[in-house]
């Protein structure tokens, strides 16, 4: 199954304004959003960063 994520991004050094960036990746039922974001960072776009403390009960912050 293809999963599409839209991530709100902003880099003041490169962007005039915040933007949405779309990623389409393979996923399966039950895959956690954090796992998808980690896959994007590790395999597709290493400029993506996030704090992974949601595994400890906190929300994820993505930059």
Q: Give the pLDDT confidence score for residue 23 in this predicted structure.
A: 96
CB neighbours of 30 closer than 8 A, spacing ≥ 6? none
Q: Give the pLDDT confidence score for residue 53 in this predicted structure.
A: 65
Name which of 15, 18, 17, 16 is nearest 6 in CA terms: 18
Residues 25-49 pLDDT 10s: 998 888 888 889 999 999 999 999 8
Structural domains of the chain sorted by starting position, each given as residue range(s) with its CATH number in brackets: 2-62 (3.10.20.30)
Residue 50, pLDDT > 90, answer no
For the record, the structure tokens of 8 come out as: 């709100």
Q: In terms of pTM, does the model score above 0.95?
A: no
40 contacts 5 by C-beta, under 8 angstroms? yes
């Amino acid at each position: 199954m293809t999963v599409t994520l839209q991530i709100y991004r902003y880099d003041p050094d490169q962007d005039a304004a915040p933007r949405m960036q779309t990623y389409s990746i393979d996923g399966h039922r039950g895959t956690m959003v954090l796992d998808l974001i980690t896959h994007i960072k590790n395999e597709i776009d290493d400029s993506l960063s996030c704090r992974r403390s949601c595994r400890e009960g906190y929300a994820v912050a993505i930059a």
